[in-house]
A = this chain, B = another copy of it.
């Protein structure tokens, strides 16, 4: 069985795979261009999911399974994969812990004014007159109450916050006090101290957060987007902070990444830019390979119990 890995992992992962699967033939390629020759023989492809095209799928005649070592599938050639009946799995689930920690980190940075504290330190200023607040008792609204959203809510509850979630059905999800749908959540906006968006990019979520939503929010509220950049038009975000509709915006995702050097978000005081970091930790690859190894074992044993099999019709 031949596995083509379309990136070069650290040696420890390579050794670990070969140790656990001595009968599997792994080949690793630094760039997708170099992998071209190996594609016709590959039964399994492991990819970061950024550069696979229809042509690669076409060329991989023996391909049965694609493992994507991330959760975002926007760039996958779904049509070709579906047509050829190739199984697709991803690393969904590994983002829950780091993204929830990152989100709480930003919320505490805001509540405790740690950005201002850092600036004061740089300038050698000892001043205790900062508008520090608490998460305790504050309200959180999470757009996208999936695995990541629920983990954010779990931590928020530990901080004694009130939690509301938004999903497609309004069905209760663990760690949320109340639920809304994309049609009904607007009524909660006046009560939210923190609005966190962790929605994927789909036709249902593109540009759905509008000026009228920011009009409803508290002028002290904080908006954090760790989902996808096309949830809100950039002009709406700039207007929201410039006209002081809300207190602060943290953006980890953008329509264009990297965010262009001359983009106004960089300079805007009311907007903090983070370079799509929420899921990045030292634990990323170990967790992704853990899922792959578990699935490869199941696949080798002809078991159906693979984790994170994607419905290629729905796209998630």
Q: When the two chains form their complex, are residues A117 and B158 in contact, meaning their CB atoms are under 8 A apart?
A: no
CB < 8 Å neighbour of A121 from B112, B158, B273, B276: B273
- Mark each residue of chain A from 131 to 159: 1 if its CB lies under 8 Å from any CB of chain B, else 0: 11111100000000000000000110011
- Mark each residue of chain A from 107 to 139: 1 if its CB lies under 8 Å from any CB of chain B, else 0: 011011011011011001011101111111000
Residues of B within 8 A of A106 (CB): 114
Q: Which of A249-284 contact B (CB under 8 A)?
A: 257-259, 261, 266, 272-277, 280-283
Q: When the two chains form their complex, are residues B134 and A98 in contact, meaning their CB atoms are under 8 A apart?
A: yes
Is A101 interfacial (CB 8 A cutoff)? Answer: yes
Q: A126-B259, A258-B126 are in contact. Are A112 and B102 (CB under 8 A)?
A: yes
Residues of B within 8 A of A155 (CB): 158-159
Q: When the two chains form their complex, are residues B117 and A277 in contact, meaning their CB atoms are under 8 A apart?
A: yes
Is A105 interfacial (CB 8 A cutoff)? Answer: yes
Is A97 interfacial (CB 8 A cutoff)? Answer: yes
Shortest distance in angstroms between A220's beta carbon and chain B's nearest beta carbon?
11
Residues of B within 8 A of A111 (CB): 101, 105
Please give me the residue from chain B that is nearest to A263 by CB atom.
B124
Q: A101-B111, A101-B159 are in contact. Are A120 and B275 (CB under 8 A)?
A: yes
Q: When the two chains form their complex, are residues A124 and B277 in contact, meaning their CB atoms are under 8 A apart?
A: no
- CB-CB nearest 10 A-B residue pairs: A105-B108, A158-B158, A126-B258, A105-B112, A126-B275, A97-B136, A132-B281, A134-B281, A124-B266, A121-B273
Q: List, sorted by A's number, 9 A–B pairs whose CB atoms are closer than 8 Å.
A: A101-B112, A101-B159, A104-B104, A104-B108, A114-B114, A117-B274, A120-B275, A128-B277, A136-B283
